[in-house]
A and B are shown apart, each in its own frame.
Chain A
């Protein structure tokens, strides 16, 4: 009962925040509303006792991905009015895509459910149940190759991103930090011993 009430509250906030993401006039506000979305999605996962996934969602998306998003969006001086110029022109195409996505969602949620008896809600898990251990056990046995493959794809993406942005320009004066760090006091400072002078 309490879980149901909480679900509707958080789901409502989630939908509201998601609408806010696309309706907010300021891109920074959009990003922050998206963060709110992720939080509410994490809470929904917590409600079905998937605590590992919930915390990882917050850790990865809120803690890392959205920080970088915010970082970039804050630095751009985006003119929202100009972005909205094409709104009416592109509206029919967008509506078409939205309808297709809605139909697909409906197919997955409703049509394929016919004949399959889904339980309402999930049964509470036993007290000593460890969500983390269970996911780990599946991830490193049944799904070990897809998991490794995903890791390699991400690694390639990282290397590619660095290769795209790394530029060597000739004639640029740069600091050699390794050399700077390796400097010892004896290289720069000469200590002189001298007798103290008497005031005249």
Chain B
């Protein structure tokens, strides 16, 4: 019973802190809405796969909210169904790259010396190699037909910038008084890392995760546009890619077909990035104790 109350308390404080930044809170609400539509929506809205020749390229109406495509299919149902794969791949990539960045960034900052030199040297090198061409060239060699594998592949190459940020954060935390005090009290490495450092780095970790999420959406859709990811099911990237390769973007009536997936991706990216402003407040341990 106590635990439930604690959790509810924690949630309440978090939400209250998040409302302090209005733009960030709107971003948070928008992100939640998109997630709900993409993850739960498919169970309620069936994917329209029937070709209806009399309803090709219709503008939005009460029957078809986002209009219809070149085969008369409902675009709204495609948008609802097209989000989960994109978000899943991005989440896998973001988890992996945040994990690598946080683990090795902290390690680098605390170990110092040769370990730090090696990790930072490697990071610098990978950071200078243009990522998108590297991914595209690699994708030409490796078959990326599995969503989880694609996510891991993206995550494996997108940690360097995050690692540098985490390392510099850890370096500055290392010298703070409260860490010094914990060390003087001989509280042990586990206590210092998980009770003192991680809560203070939580803001960084969460923001790194959201930024990695948007970066993964960027590269993923880019690879789809280049035709390098043979994903069979329809998702936002594939919708744009098909409209692109079939020349629909040069066709005036096809506007809704090309605009809706673009808007979906743009809105998702914008909401997630705006949400970081609120996350910054919600995970800041200093603000939390003040409430």
The reply to whether chain A is a binding partner of chain B is no
B: which residues have CB within 8 A of A? none
A: which residues have CB within 8 A of B? none
